[in-house]
Amino acid sequence: MKNELINFEKISRQTWQQLHRNTTVPLTQEELNSIKSFNDKISLQDVLDVYLPLINLIRIYKKASEDLSFSKSLFLQKKIKNQPFIIGISGSVAVGKSTTSRLLQILLTRTFKHAKVEMVTTDGFLYPNAVLKEKNLLDRKGFPESYNMELLLDFLNTIENGHDFQIPVYSHEVYDIVPNQCQTISAPDFLIVEGINVFQNPQNQHLYVSDYFDLAIYVDAAVENIESWYLERFKKLLKLAESNPSNYYHRFLDMSEDEISAFAHSIWETINLVNLKDYIEPTRHRADIILHKAKNHEIDEIYLKK
């Protein structure tokens, strides 16, 4: 990691795990298996060593946020408005953001007993394929210009002001926004927003999505590891598509093993790697916490903004 992380405290897993003494993990291995992405690896030991101290830290951030809100309301002589605590989670495609997000959702729900914890992925804010085609952006899917950032900002603003919002639903099976399907988010205590673009600057506007976050987390790993996880995931997606002709990945099943590897590698090189290098990784320094993963998917280092 370069000088961009000069204002981060680097903490080894060994040191980090000592920051939380509780030895009870509030979920089972079965529950953990059900929330992890299918090519990710995570154990109850990871929950104990990494995620429970992280929940402790979130508690500190939440308390600080509430104290500031209370002090500001006294200063302005205004009544406090209940606002959700918003956590943004970013990182490359295939790095394990979804697993981290779902795990945090379940741990927050069990730590803050009466809290409503919602999670959204910014895939739902991608323009539908028809619109991308019209804008000649189908090959740029996942790049900043393929997202309806205005809608994403509108969503965050609405939720922060205590109103309900319906967001579009994206399906990886059909590789598109699902028509006439919405996810309704209403008055959460915690909101987790996960996506490759959540720290990025929207086009032609001065507002960052991350301006709405109370805590920003970046999931990081060496590029060669992310690449091998992506290629592994691509092959597993093909396997899942075998019995479903309407699945987007079904069209690739006629290819030979070598052709599939070459095709997946070419998508990584020309799309995902370019997106990572040009748009995702340059936003890493905007995080409050960076979770760095080793080759075996285990988090080995944590970077905490000073």
Tally of CA atoms within 13 A in the half-sphere of 25 that contains its CB:
17
Whole-angstrom distance, CA of residue 111 vs CA of residue 59: 9
Cα dihedral 100, 105, 106, 112 sign? positive
Which residues have C-beta within 8 Å of that of residue 197, sequence separation ≥ 6? 90, 122, 144, 147, 149, 209, 279, 280
Q: Which residues are annotated as a binding site for ATP?
A: 91-98
Which residues have C-beta within 8 Å of that of residue 134, sequence separation ≥ 6? none
Q: Which residues of 289-306 are buried (b: 16+ CB within 10 A; e: fewer)?
A: bbbbbeeebbbbbbbeee
Q: Which residues are annotated as a binding site?
A: 91-98
Show the tokens assigned to 230.
């992506």
- The CA-atom distances, in angstroms, between 255 and each of 200, 242, 249, 251 are 36, 13, 11, 9
